[in-house]
Amino acid sequence: MIALRASEIAAITQGRLGQGTDPELVVTGIARIDSRDLSPGDLFVAFEGETLDGHDFVDQAMSNGAVLSLVTRPVAAPHVVVSNMLEAVSALARHNARALQSTCTIIGLTGSSGKTSTKDLLASVLEAAGETVAPPGSFNNELGFPLTVLRANLNTKYLVLEMGARGVGHLALLCSIAQPQVGMVLNVGAAHLGEFGDLETTARAKSEVVATLPADGIAILNSDDERVRAMTAVTKARCVYFGDSRDALVSAENVIVGTNGCAQFDLLISGLASERVSLKVAGRHQVSNALAVAATAISLGISPHAVAEALSQAGPRSPWRMQVEQAVNDVTVINDAYNANPESMSAALVAARDIAGDGRLGVVVGEMLELGDQSNQAHVDLGTAVANATPAWVIAVGSVSEPIESGAVSAGLSPEVISRVDSAPLAIRKALELVQPGDVVLIKASRGIGLEVVAQALVGGDKA
């Protein structure tokens, strides 16, 4: 964040200086909520979570480098007291974003699936062209978004903001904190149908990113998704398309998926020579993500050759997203347990089959959360997708194991290869029992199911 005095922070957040706090004290670092992860000059945000209260860690934060704490009740260390922490952090982020308008390009991206992977690829490409700030992991909600904005300073050339929503108006609110000059929409899918209700409402919510763009902004739209393509009608900005349409700025040809699951393709740029791209992130679905990144970077003036080169060098950044690891006995573990929805499940299963080739594939899948009334059918359909991947063994975890099994058996998979268990610890035991040398194992569910422990057990060879 830009350097601010304690008195300025109090004014921006409509807070008050704590007793004995020097109004001229200057915060020169960034705002953080983890008292263990601080650098000299940082601002510690004493956020109250469900299980931990940041106020209990103010002393630790100060000893680790923080010079000031943002709190909702007085503490012994230098502080500013605010009435609402989320509103205060958002106000600081809004002030920071406005201060950077003339020096920094803000890019907001959203979509039902692929946001974090695309954000990571985009950050890798932009870093080659200038100082870039992007969120760690999936900092894309009402707290993570402003905290990411507060990582940027006057040296930042590009600020990449991942934007998640669970209802209409959420993305417009985030855009009011930091207005993007470039807005990207990857897709409209079934994720969070329990909150949105239907795909039309999902599309309306996602469109807020491009609807709020200024007239001199750029909307990066997936021309292969009809709901995204239709967002052209709601934006004043210049529209740039990626995908297979004739008017797309970038498209892909000659796609080849290697034995490592990573795709190679010719990046076609309208009116220019093609560039060959060899991705280092697994899954053929990453081609579309790479096209979104290429469309954005080229629209910002980065040369197609530089874009292709940076895409080819970009490796995985965020954990538990198509994270491919080698375990004992030549077992390959694909840890994709961070999140799941119908589209990302299908993409992960295709990628896992690509990696397994003619070999044995094992699949450990659990519930896709937040699907509302569509949940049962979505998990039956997941079973169908599992069957289409022709696994040697399947472990279905939790309350949705029955519809998963039903869908898989209806699609022709033998019930003998399907095991149903109630929990992640039981899935560990079953996986260790079923896995054989040389197997490729995909592990995927929504974050709340906690299936990453299965991947960790297989990689570490743990017994349960």
461 pLDDT band, cuts 50/70/90, is low
36 pLDDT band, cuts 50/70/90, is very high
pLDDT at res. 359: 95
379: nearest Cα among 347, 346, 348, 353: 346
Task: Give buried/exposed letters for 266-281 (b at 16+ CB in 10 A, else e).
Answer: ebbbeeeebbebebeb
CB distance 134 to 160 below 8 Å: yes
193 pLDDT band, cuts 50/70/90, is confident
pLDDT at res. 456: 93
pLDDT in tens, 353-405: 999 999 999 999 999 998 988 999 999 999 999 999 999 999 999 999 999 99
Q: Is 372 left (phi over 0), alpha (psi -120 to 50) or beta?
A: left
Cα–Cα distance for residue pair 302/126, rounded to 1 Å: 8
pLDDT in tens, 302-336: 999 999 999 999 988 888 788 999 998 899 999 99
Task: Give buried/exposed letters for 137-151 (b at 16+ CB in 10 A, else e).
Answer: bbbbbebbbbbbbbb
- Domain 4-82 is classified in which CATH homologous superfamily? MurE/MurF, N-terminal domain (3.40.1390.10)
Cα–Cα distance for residue pair 408/404, rounded to 1 Å: 6
Q: Is 180 left (phi over 0), alpha (psi -120 to 50) or beta?
A: beta
Determine how β-strand 275-282 pairs with β-strand 262-269: antiparallel
401 alpha-carbon distance from chain centroid: 26
Q: Any idea where the domains of the chain sit in the sequence?
A: 4-82, 100-313, 323-460
Q: Cβ atoms within 10 A of the Cβ of 420, count?
A: 17
pLDDT at res. 181: 98
pLDDT at res. 259: 86
The pair of structure tokens assigned to 201 is 């409402």
pLDDT in tens, 263-294: 999 999 998 999 999 999 999 999 999 999 99
- Given a cut of 50, whether residue 99 has pLDDT beyond it is yes
Cα–Cα distance for residue pair 38/35, rounded to 1 Å: 6
Tell me what percent of the residues of the chain surpass a pLDDT of 70. Answer: 99
CATH class of 323-460: alpha beta
Determine how β-strand 79-81 pairs with β-strand 68-71: parallel
SS (H, E, C) the chain: CCCEEHHHHHHHHCCEECCCCCCCCEECCCEECCCCCCCCCCEEECCECCCCEHHHHHHHHHHCCCCEEEECCCCCCCEEECCCHHHHHHHHHHHHHHHCCCCCEEEEEECCCCHHHHHHHHHHHHHCCCCEECCCCCCCCCCHHHHHHCCCCCCCCEEEEECCCCCCCHHHHHHHHCCCCEEEECCCCCCCHHHHCCHHHHHHHHCHHHHCCCCCCEEEEECCCHHHHHHHHHCCCEEEEECCCCCCCEEEEEEEECCCCEEEEEEEECCCCCEEEEEEEECCCHHHHHHHHHHHHHHCCCCHHHHHHHHHHCCCCCCCCCEEEECHHHCEEEECCCCCCHHHHHHHHHHHHHHHCCCCEEEEECCCCCCHHHHHHHHHHHHHHHHHCCCCEEEEEHHHHHHHHHHHHHCCCCHHHEEEECCHHHHHHHHHHHCCCCCEEEEECCHHHCCHHHHHHHHHCCCC
Residues ≥6 apart with Cβ < 8 Å to 464:
425, 428, 429, 432, 457
Radius of gyration of the chain, Cα coordinates, nearest whole angstrom: 23
CB-count exposure of residue 318 (10 Å: 0-12, 13-18, 19+): middle
pLDDT at res. 464: 40
pLDDT at res. 61: 96
Mean pLDDT, the chain, as a whole number? 94
- Domain 100-313 is classified in which CATH homologous superfamily? Mur-like, catalytic domain (3.40.1190.10)
- Given a cut of 90, whether residue 462 has pLDDT beyond it is no
pLDDT in tens, 330-363: 999 999 998 899 999 999 999 999 999 999 999 9
- Given a cut of 50, whether residue 463 has pLDDT beyond it is no
The pair of structure tokens assigned to 205 is 């919510």
pLDDT in tens, 161-178: 999 888 899 999 999 999
Segment 39-62 shows an average pLDDT of 94
From residue 104, alpha-carbon distances to 27, 98, 160, 232, 245 in Å are 20, 10, 10, 25, 31
- Given a cut of 70, whether residue 450 has pLDDT beyond it is yes
